[in-house]
Amino acid sequence: MQTLYVELGDRRYPIFIGSQLKPQQLLEPYIPAKQLMIVTNTTVGELYLDDYVTAIQQLGKTVATCILPDGEKYKNIEHLNLIFDALLEAGFNRDCTVLALGGGVIGDMAGFASACFQRGVYFIQVPTTLLSQVDSSVGGKTGINHPLGKNMIGAFQQPQVVLADMSQLATLPDRELSAGLAEVIKYALLGDIEFLAWLEAHMDGLVGRDATLLAEAVYRSCAHKAAIVARDEKEQGERALLNLGHTFGHAIESYLGYGVWLHGEAVATGMVMAADLSHRMGWISAEDLARTKNIIHRANLPVACPEIPLDDFLAYMAHDKKVLDGQLRLVLLKQLGRAIITRDFDTKQMKQAILANQNERDRDYS
């Protein structure tokens, strides 16, 4: 097992990364009171819920469960209320702990519920997908979607601990694994050219679920995010770099309907658009753009989005959280391994990048 920490002063917390982790032993120091609510979904619950209920009960805790339907389309206020219902019906108080057992949707919803219930209770993340292990479980962003924009309603709620068990990835569908690799690739593109070279050397093994390689990818990704979050917890500056590809990607998700494309699939295509615009602005070369497309393609991710009317695409981008004073900010690449946040881009070139991406469907990048 490897351990790293998100350094937030007296709110410092560990991320445990390994296989066949023992939740009873690792979580005990982070459950201060007797009441614990496990929030999961129908898919993950069938696989792992009983084990976690037993482990927590053996610590002498009172355990209740809330099982939500599985899917991004349920990440809304209606289903958030089901968590509040479960907490209230169980008679839980402000000393309780909410444990998220699942992927990014469960982590975001359970975390948001823990931030709101009785104005804030303890929170634990047990991410069971690659995407949630390398991204959404770390850093405290929680929330729900709105029909006009993704993750537009939420709160910062840091967990007490994150437990990332590689053995749980064995049950992950191939498409979900690839979606997680999109966020891994993101860290390399935005801030670590050596990590990009490592991914290029080992992508076949990652796609093939080599446990050692996956653990290394998770550790390096979490280390990148933990360092940035420690410097900019509330996304006042540098943390926005972690949204590389997301402004374009969120527009795809919102237009198609949440869950039609997985978040990682939309982000992958969004990163291609961001790289294309960076190339049009003269910041990265044609070879760099091709390199970006190739590593995304090798992870079995889409490099081109479905046909979306340009006006609709731009309208959804305008609802992005990085819009400030009416101006859209984008995360673009000054070079591979160095991203910046900027308002200084040509809107015409941005439109060209979006349209060019849609026209590249069905091309072979192998």
DSSP string for 76-113: SHHHHHHHHHHHHHTT--TT-EEEEEESHHHHHHHHHH
Mean pLDDT confidence for 236-260: 93
CA dist 199 → 64, 140, 337 (Å): 41, 26, 13
Task: Tell me the C-alpha distance between 83 and 160, whole Å.
Answer: 19
The string of pLDDT tens digits covering residues 177-213 is: 999 999 999 999 999 999 999 999 999 999 999 999 9
Domain with CATH 1.20.1090.10 in the chain: 174-359
pLDDT at 365 > cutoff 90: no
pLDDT grade for 319, boundaries at 50, 70 and 90:
confident
The string of pLDDT tens digits covering residues 134-166 is: 999 999 999 999 988 888 899 999 999 999 999
Residues designated as active site: 119, 141, 183, 225, 235, 239, 243, 246, 250, 263
The string of pLDDT tens digits covering residues 28-50 is: 999 999 999 999 999 999 999 99
The pLDDT score that the predictor gives to residue 361 is 66
Domain with CATH 3.40.50.1970 in the chain: 2-171
Pick the CATH number of 174-359 from 3.40.50.880, 1.10.3720.10, 1.20.1090.10, 3.40.50.2300: 1.20.1090.10
User: Quick one: what percent of the chain has pLDDT higher than 70?
Assistant: 96
pLDDT at 81 > cutoff 90: yes
How would you label 313-330 residue by residue, b for 16+ Cβ within 10 Å and e otherwise? bbebbebbbbeeeeebbb
Structure tokens given for 105:
């949707």
CATH (residue range 2-171): 3.40.50.1970
pLDDT grade for 366, boundaries at 50, 70 and 90:
very low
User: Quick one: what percent of the chain has pLDDT higher than 90?
Assistant: 92
Average pLDDT, the chain: 94
Task: Decide: helix, strand or coil at residue 307.
Answer: coil
Structure tokens given for 95:
């000393």
Task: Tell me the C-alpha distance between 164 and 127, whole Å.
Answer: 6
